[in-house]
Amino acid sequence: MFFSGQPARTESALQNLRSRLTSDRERDYFLTHQNRYRFILKKIAALGLPPGATVLDIVCFPLHLFKMLEGWGYRVSGVSSDHEKIKTAKIHSLNIEIGPLPYPDNHFDLIIFAEVMEHLLYNPGNYLQEIYRVLKPGGTLFITTPNSINIKNRLLLLGGRSCYPPLFQLLESEPDNGYIYHRRNREYTLSELEQLLKPHLFKIKSGGHFNAYSPLREKLHPNPRAVRIIKGVVFLPTVFFSSLRDTNFILAAK
């Protein structure tokens, strides 16, 4: 159940983390993703998990969500990718597409899979099956991933431009250099995510779209006023038509 203290709890977590960031690079990353963090935290707060609940943050670099959820009293574990290794006893570095998750069956109350699927290459069933295995019965899988039919992509196609990753990302990808996981390899519609989850016995609790990257968000280095106006005009239809928003989300249960 959602209760009145949750927005304040979310804002407190965001402000506490922000106050501890020491570099402009990390502050800039935090501000870029702050609206996404806010949305995720509010949804997690609404789950009503008790203190001590077990949480897995898959591909947890940088440790922003990880640290905020630890601050809420959850027991948080993480998986980092091989090209963003984090050395801590609570975090394992591995490629989730080719290796099993190093956790026992039915272990986690909540698994966060945020902004990961678009970077992966192979059959999603391989890692979704592993996620299902380590999730507790009644536990929640929380997915966010870019919406492939957002307004920006539609306008690019209407203008005769590609909405795929830029060519320089392709040209920098070589066998075994790991760069291929830095770029977006496949974006999804909401209905595609639902189709991928159902064969693996996940029960979809809710899903939809949200704007993780509003042009009105705070920035360390704001865009010029003219750019902000243009982006604001493009952004306006997403207020009324949710399918045009930039990010999909799904909460599913085991």
26 in a structural domain: no
Q: Find the CATH number of the domain harbouring 240.
A: 3.40.50.150
28 in a structural domain: no
In sequence order, the 6+-apart residues with CB closer than 8 A to the CB of 175 are none
Residue pLDDT, tens place only, 28-75: 999 999 999 999 999 999 999 999 999 999 999 999 999 999 999 999
Mean pLDDT of 19-36: 95
66 in a structural domain: yes
The answer to whether the predicted template modeling score (pTM) of the entire model surpasses 0.85 is yes
128 in a structural domain: yes
Residue pLDDT, tens place only, 106-153: 999 999 999 999 999 999 999 999 999 999 999 999 999 999 999 999
- Look up the domain containing 129 and give its range: 50-253
Number of H helices and E strands in the chain, helices first, is 8, 7
Q: How many domains does the chain have?
A: 1
pLDDT at 83: 77
In sequence order, the 6+-apart residues with CB closer than 8 A to the CB of 18 are 27, 30
110 in a structural domain: yes
